């Protein structure tokens, strides 16, 4: 089978490998779609934390089930996706219902080789039924689950003002699920085209350009002087993360979905007087994946509108570098295999 390996930052190489052989407790998927996410782009740039080369990227995946062991309820040939965070099942996080933050986690395409292949072996326990969704939709369940998990961490109450920083795919999904939770969403980004996308496609009423000199004043006006009671970062940008502490209302929750390599810093007195809550949000759980699939089936969220670029597998090496250029307007690139 053909594979695509990121050998080092800035370089891909096509290669051939043996098709995986079925083993105990595993399933083999014929890959049909690969969504390109920020992790893949950062790995290509050389800026992704906890990353080693060479690595086969790809964890936003959908395909057909061709073989399996111990996957009751599944059928050969059905469309599937899967939860790409392979957990140990025995550490403190797994024992307390937090497999998404497993001590020994192996994320597909990050810690172990991922889905830029024709056939992929995954744990049978990670499989998810396609539920009648298209391959495009199924490949987008995972990034939406990231946002859905962050929103669940925030415990949003209907009517709250929720500021989402970053209008990339993860931020867009976070906005969608904040809206579904009943929030009044505010989008903050430096890219005016993406803010317009939020207005036109996601019906986000309130947008603020992060290059403005009066961000706090705009947020006060939108929130009737209160400031947002939930702030969610989906940028992974250190400056954006640090700046956002000043946008918190008294009693607010701040959730970090984005990840970066450095140390965050903030004024302890300012944070303390607000009795602020700071949380990280890592990956997602089966509950989040199932919530996303349910919302997609109901039409509450239509992530295929995020797809701006589409290529066949054989063209990924040639096109990948272009997706890093903001001028090309990439929101979500989708790779097709047949």
Q: Is the pLDDT of residue 313 over 80?
A: yes
- Tell me what percent of the residues of the chain surpass a pLDDT of 70: 100
pLDDT in tens, 4-31: 999 999 999 999 999 999 999 999 999 9
- 206: β partners: 186
**pLDDT on residue 48:** 82
Residues 30-48 have a mean pLDDT of 92
Q: 275 burial class (0-12, 13-18, 19+ CB within 10 angstroms)?
A: exposed
201-243 pLDDT tens trace: 999 999 999 999 999 999 999 999 999 999 999 999 999 999 9
Query: What pLDDT, on the 0 to 100 scale, is given for residue 47?
Result: 83
Chain centre to alpha carbon of residue 315 = 23
User: What's the CA dihedral at 163, 215, 217, 162 to 10 degrees?
Assistant: 0
Residues 246-272 have a mean pLDDT of: 95
Q: Can you read off the two tokens belonging to residue 261? A: 């390599």
The answer to whether residue 38 scores a pLDDT higher than 80 is: yes
pTM of this prediction? 0.95
The radius of gyration of the chain's CA atoms, rounded to the nearest angstrom, is 20
Residue 298 pLDDT exceeds 90: yes
Please report, for residues 12, 56, 292, the alpha-carbon distance to residue 19 in angstroms, rounded to integers and kept in the order given: 20, 15, 31
2 φ/ψ angles, rounded to the nearest 5 degrees? -85, 140
Q: Give the C-alpha distances (Å, rounded to integers) separating 141 from 35, 104, 146.
A: 10, 23, 9
Kindly state the average pLDDT of the residues 87-111.
Answer: 96
SS3 37: coil
Phi, psi of 257, deg, nearest 5: -85, -45
Residue 5, pLDDT score: 97
Quote the pLDDT of residue 49: 78
262 pLDDT tier (thresholds 50, 70, 90): confident
The 10 Å Cβ neighbour count of residue 172 is: 28
- What average pLDDT does range 36-41 have in this prediction? 91
From edge to edge, which strands make up the β-sheet containing 206-209?
A: 206-209, 184-189, 161-165, 230-233, 253-256, 277-280
Q: What angle do CA 164, 167, 173 make, to 5 degrees?
A: 75
pLDDT in the model for residue 64: 98
Quote the CA–CA distance of 32 and 14 in Å, as a whole number. Answer: 17
Residue 148: per-residue pLDDT: 98
**Residue-range domains of the chain with CATH:** 2-139+302-336 (3.90.180.10), 148-280 (3.40.50.720)
Please name the residue that has the structure tokens 């006060």. Answer: 220
Q: Is the pLDDT of residue 51 over 90?
A: no
Enumerate residues 6+ apart whose C-beta is below 8 A from 92: 103
- The angle subtended at Cα 331 by Cα 310 and Cα 64, nearest 5°, is 45
Q: Is the pLDDT of residue 50 over 80?
A: no
């Amino acid at each position: 089978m053909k594979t695509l390996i990121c050998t080092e930052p800035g370089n891909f190489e096509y290669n051939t490998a043996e098709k995986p052989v079925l083993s105990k407790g595993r399933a083999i998927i014929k890959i049909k779609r690969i969504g390109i996410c920020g992790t893949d782009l950062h790995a290509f740039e050389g800026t992704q934390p906890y990353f080693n080369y060479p690595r086969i990227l790809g964890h936003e995946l959908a395909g057909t089930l061709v073989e399996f062991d111990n996957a009751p309820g599944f059928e050969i040939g059905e469309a599937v996706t899967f939860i790409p965070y392979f957990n140990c099942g025995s550490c403190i996080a797994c024992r307390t219902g937090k497999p998404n933050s497993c001590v020994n986690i192996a994320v597909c395409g990050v810690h172990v080789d991922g889905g830029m292949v024709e056939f992929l072996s995954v744990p049978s326990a990670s499989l998810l039924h396609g539920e009648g969704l298209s391959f495009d939709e199924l490949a987008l369940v995972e990034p939406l689950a990231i946002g859905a998990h962050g929103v669940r961490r925030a415990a949003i109450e209907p009517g709250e003002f929720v500021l989402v920083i970053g209008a990339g795919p993860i931020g867009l999904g976070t906005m969608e699920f904040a809206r579904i939770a009943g929030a009044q969403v505010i989008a903050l980004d430096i890219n005016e085209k993406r803010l317009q996308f939020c207005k036109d496609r996601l019906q986000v009423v309130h947008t603020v350009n992060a290059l403005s000199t009066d961000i706090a004043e705009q947020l006060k006006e939108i929130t009737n002087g209160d400031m947002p009671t939930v702030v969610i970062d989906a940028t992974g940008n250190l400056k954006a993360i640090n700046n956002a502490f000043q946008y918190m209302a008294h009693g607010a929750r701040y959730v970090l979905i984005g990840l970066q390599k450095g140390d965050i810093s903030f004024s302890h007195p300012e944070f303390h007087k607000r009795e602020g809550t700071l949380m990280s949000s890592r990956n997602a759980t089966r509950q989040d994946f199932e919530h996303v699939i349910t919302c997609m089936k109901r039409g509450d969220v239509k992530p295929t509108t995020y797809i701006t670029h589409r290529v066949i597998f054989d063209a990924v090496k040639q096109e990948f570098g272009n997706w890093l250029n903001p001028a090309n307007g990439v929101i979500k690139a989708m790779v097709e295999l047949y």
